[in-house]
Amino acid sequence: MRISAVRVGSLGSRALRLHSSVGRLAEPAFRQISTTTYRPATALPITATGPPPSAPVATSSQYGDRVEERRRKAEMLKQGKELRASQSGKSSPLKKRFWNEVTVREVPDGYHVYLDSRPVRTPSKSILTVPRTKPHLAHAIAIEWDMLESAQQALKNHNIPMTSIVARAQDLIEAEAQGSTKTRDEIITVMMRYLDTDTLLCWAPEHSMHDAAQLEMHADRTQSLRNLQIKTAKPIISFLTTSVWPGVELKPVLEEGSIMPVQQSEMTRNIIRGWMSGLPAYELAALERAALAGKSLLVATRLLIEWSEEFRDLQRIDEKRFGIEEAAEAASLEVRWQTGMWGEVEDTHDVENEDIRRQLGSAILLVSGHR
C-alpha cells in the first residue's frame, strides 16, 4: 500500500509539470510595457456661469453678411479701445462731440452749417459757405456732422467727404481771389499725368495667349477683354471729342507689343489743359476727386459734363444719363474682368467697389444744383 501511494504521487507530479509547461506555451507572446497602477480621471467641478454658447452658424458668402460681420468686428474693436481708455484714466476732449444739434442756416451768400452755435469751418479757418444753388449740398454736409460720434472723427477726411471737397473748392476760390493760381496749376498738372495713363485708354493687347483659354473656361464670355474695353470707351470718347473738345484725337495709351505709354499729341494736351484752366472752382474740385477715384480723366470729365449745372447746354435729357454706375463700370472694367475669372479678394475688391462709388457720388453732389 505504501509503494502504490508513492507511485501515484509521482505520476501526479509529472502530470502537473506537463500541464504547466503546456500552459506556458499557450501564453501570449507580448507583455505590457507600463506597469503603472491604473487611476481613473478626476472630473473638475463646473465653474462656468450663464447659458451655454450659441451653436456655430455656417459662414455665408453673401456681400451683406460680410459687411455685417465687418461692422460687428469694428464695433468690438471700438468697445475694446474705449475700455482700455477708461481703465488707463486718460480722457481727451475730442473723444466726444461738443455739439448736440446740426442745422443749416441761409445767409446772403448761400448756406452755413452750424454745430449748435458754431459754424463749420475750412482748414484755413474760413466759414464753410455753400452756394445758394446747392441746398442739397448743405444738407448733405449737415448729415455728415450729425452722424459723427466724436470730434476726433472729423479729423479724417473719409468721415466727412462732402465737407472736405467743398472746403477744397472754397480754398481754391479764396486763393484765386487773392491772385494766386498755384492750387489750380497743381491740380491741372496732376490731371494731365492721369491723361497719359488714362484707364479708359489702357486696352489689353490685340492677341493674348490667355484669351482662348479664358473663353474656353467661361463659355458665357463671347468677347475678349480688349473688345469690351473698346466697346465701353468708344461712346465716351465720341462724346468728348464732339461736344467738349471738338477736333481732339484721343489715342490708346499702349501700342501693340509695347509697355511704354504713348502721350497724346501736343495739340490735344493744350486743348484739355486750357479747358481745365477755365473750369469754375467747384467743377475743378469735382473733376479732381472723380479722376483720382477712377484713375481716369476722361471718365471724370464725362461724369462732370453730365451732372454739372455749368454744362446744362451739353446734357442730353432724352438719353440715359451717365451716372455713378456707368462711370464706375468704365473705370474698373479690367478689374471686374479679372475678378470674374479668378474671384475677388474679400475686404479688398468689394471695399474698392463701394469706395469708388462713394467718391463719384460726392463729385456729383458737388456740381449738381439749380439755377
- Which domains occur in the chain, in start order? 102-175 (3.30.2180.10), 182-367 (1.10.3580.10)
Residue 63: pLDDT band with limits 50, 70, 90: low
Closest CA to 285 of 125, 161, 159: 161
Percent of all residues in the chain with a pLDDT value above 70, rounded to a whole number:
80
Helix (H, G, I), strand (E, B) or coil at 145: helix
Per-residue pLDDT reduced to its tens digit, 230-242: 999 999 999 999 9
Q: Is 221 exposed, middle or buried (0-12, 13-18, 19+ CB in 10 A)?
A: middle
Residue 104: pLDDT band with limits 50, 70, 90: very high
Cβ atoms 226, 204 nearer than 8 A: yes
Q: In what order do the strands lie in the sheet with 118-119?
A: 102-107, 110-115, 118-119
Average pLDDT, the chain: 83
Residues with Cβ within 8 Å of residue 156, at least 6 apart in sequence: none
**Using CA atoms, how far apart are residues 334 and 69, in angstroms rounded to an integer?**
28
| Nine-digit cell string for 349 | 475688391
**Using CA atoms, how far apart are residues 114 and 120, in angstroms rounded to an integer?**
6
Question: What is the DSSP secondary structure assignment for residue 219, as one 8-state letter?
Answer: T
Residue 5: pLDDT band with limits 50, 70, 90: very low
pLDDT, position 214: 57
pLDDT, position 224: 82
User: What type of residue is 168?
Assistant: R
Residue 140: pLDDT band with limits 50, 70, 90: very high
**Using CA atoms, how far apart are residues 270 and 253, in angstroms rounded to an integer?**
18
Helices assigned H by DSSP within the chain? 2-26, 63-88, 135-147, 161-177, 182-196, 211-217, 225-239, 266-277, 281-294, 297-307, 324-331, 333-342, 349-367
